[in-house]
Amino acid sequence: MPADDVATAQAIRRQEERLQRDPTSLAFAQLADLYRKVGRIPEAIALCRGGLERYPHYTTARLILAKALIAEGALDAALVELTAILELSPKDLQSHRLAAEVHRRCGRLDTAVEHLEAVTRLDPGDRESRALLSLLRAEAPASGESAGLGRALADDTFATITFARACLDQGLSEEAAQVFGRILRRDPDHADARGGLEQALRARLRRKG
């Protein structure tokens, strides 16, 4: 077993023992996060929910719960937790970042932009959030290699899945993201555009390496 896996298993065992000794301990949050990181998502969620019944204002546990819910694909439930955190702590950077991700994945780009704007105000050095903000804004300038492509990106006539896929196939991940975004602004429930946007953003990250 790799050394990292051994260390994680030992950390889980220590937190489990600590929680057994004192079931009211705040250690439930650390244990839940460890469960989440090793893929024991249902256990992480159950542990967080149980602990939050005793400590409803423990925002760290609520954030861990939100991350676990996102990992499970329960985006609406995760958003409930993130909203609760932001009501208590409006400047919580991680919650704004995660809320932006959830809204983006649900096709609600304008709301995702609002959260990214909050992130860049609170952390001007966050280059990745600033880059995402530029891609997701409705007025995002084209970054194409030619004026012709730039005009196409700005023209709703070309805001189609076919054109977006063509950009992606050519390695133009940022341009593809812009086109998928234009489609989602017309139809936030467009499943192909939502999936395509996430694919384009993953390709962009791989390219940046």
Domains of the chain: residue spans and CATH: 1-89 (1.25.40.10), 91-139 (no CATH), 147-208 (no CATH)
CA distance 2 to 146: 48
Q: What is the pLDDT of residue 180?
A: 95
Of the chain, the percentage scoring pLDDT greater than 90 comes to 83
Q: What is the pLDDT of residue 139?
A: 54
**Rounded mean pLDDT of 162-172?**
94
Label residue 71 by pLDDT band (50, 70, 90): very high
Answer whether residue 18 shows pLDDT above 60: yes
Query: Taking all residues of the chain, what is their mean pLDDT, rounded to a whole number?
Result: 90
pTM: 0.87
CA distance 178 to 150: 11
CA distance 37 to 35: 6
Q: What is the pLDDT of residue 144?
A: 45
Q: Is 121 helix (H, G, I), strand (E, B) or coil?
A: helix
**Rounded mean pLDDT of 124-135?**
94
Answer whether residue 64 shows pLDDT above 50: yes
CA distance 120 to 110: 15
Q: What backbone phi and psi angles, to 5 degrees, belong to 173?
A: -65, -40
Label residue 140 by pLDDT band (50, 70, 90): very low
